[in-house]
Amino acid sequence: MAERRRRARVQGGWAGGAAGRLAAPKAPEAGSRSPAGGGQAWGGRDQLRSRKQFVFEKPSEVERRVPEAGVIDKPGVYELSTEPSGVSRIHLVPGFIDSEQADWMFEQLLQDVPWGQRTHTRQEGSFEEPRLTSWYGELPYTYSRITMQPNPNWHPVLTMLKEQIEEFTGHTFNSLLCNLYRNEKDSVDWHSDDEPSLGKNPVIASLSFGAIRTFEMRKKPSPEENGDYTYVERLRIPLDHGTLLMMEGATQEDWQHRVPKEYHSRDARINLTFRIIYPEPDRVWK
Ligand SMILES: O=C(O)CCC(=O)C(=O)O
């Protein structure tokens, strides 16, 4: 892209964007005569200036634009895409827990959940996840190469929320991943919740408490893009205190999501993602 822009500037003096380019006139070939006749010789820079004209030059290829991110901030069911793996759908329910109730739930969870920080070890060294997490469920859960051990001792607030979501959605859940973003520096990077233990087309119920943070989604690129996410569709979904976000269908197969760091200060935020975990038959649990 940068290369093509540079070429356009050299040809035309400036690039006129997708609509076309203006090109400076070409110098006449050596020895050529002016159309006016009379055998006038080529007169150098002054003559070029007086004859200067601009010629519309159609772009040889259509310039691709990076699409602007869409914003979803109204309650409703949204069909994000229908291919390649089927329908990807989300359901946004702001105020699922009213603000007063959400306040005391947030305080209890902040205090009582056994929050911990996972450490990743790679060849380059080890680093701590920029958030705290906790896991509830009869089965362990492995993601990003780290296993979270089973914890069947559900906090009463979490049991109550699980039942409330089950009643509202008609889906049942047996596990919960809790995330605590302590401030604007905490985040979760691009990923999909697509571990084999979640099964195909998992339904995930994500409930948020505390500071508002932006949940971003991006469509996975088609094979022709060779893993380049530059031109993929993007969405921004502000998740506020008490908001429920349901993800279902092919959402995990065809889309990724993240919660980026913020440039402005943010108070703590808790996110609860209720899931179903299936035992993995071939797996030896450590
Ligand atoms: O904090 C959030 O809203 C998203 C959490 C998340 O991506 C996850 O638990 O997989």
pLDDT tens string, the chain, 286 residues long: the values are: 333 333 322 232 222 222 222 233 333 333 333 344 333 444 455 555 556 667 777 767 778 899 999 999 999 999 999 999 999 999 999 999 999 999 999 999 999 999 999 888 888 888 999 999 999 999 998 888 888 999 999 999 999 999 999 999 999 999 999 999 999 999 999 999 999 999 999 999 999 999 999 999 999 999 999 999 999 999 999 999 999 999 999 999 999 999 999 999 999 999 999 999 999 765 544 4
Protein residue whose Cα sits closest to atom 10 of ligand 1: 193
Ligand 1 centroid to 259 CA: how many Å? 7
Provide the β-strand partners of residue 257.
191, 217
Pocket test for ligand 1, best of 178, 179, 274 (most atoms within 8 A of CB): 179
Q: What is the pLDDT of residue 124?
A: 85
* CA 239 to ligand 1: nearest atom: 3
Query: What is the pLDDT at residue 177?
Result: 97
CA of 248 to the centre of ligand 1 (A): 14
256 Cβ inside 6 Å of ligand 1:
no
Of 3.40.50.2300, 2.30.110.10, 3.90.1650.10, 2.60.120.590, the CATH number of 70-275 is 2.60.120.590
Tell me what pLDDT residue 46 has.
Answer: 55
* Ligand 1 pocket member 273 (CB < 6 A): yes
Tell me the backbone φ, ψ of residue 248, rounded to 5 degrees: -150, 180
Domain spans of the chain, in order of start: 70-275
pLDDT for position 45: 53
3-state secondary structure of 23: strand
H or E element in which residue 125 lies: strand 125-128
Query: Ligand 1 in contact with 259 (CB < 6 A)?
Result: yes
Ligand 1 binding pocket includes 244 (Cβ within 6 Å):
no
Cα separation, 208 vs 188, whole angstroms: 14
Q: How far apart are CA 162 and CA 274, in angstroms?
A: 7
Name the nearest CA neighbour of 218 among 93, 62, 66.
66
What pLDDT shows up at residue 248?
98
Rounded alpha-carbon distances, angstroms, from residue 173 to 117, 205, 229? 24, 9, 32
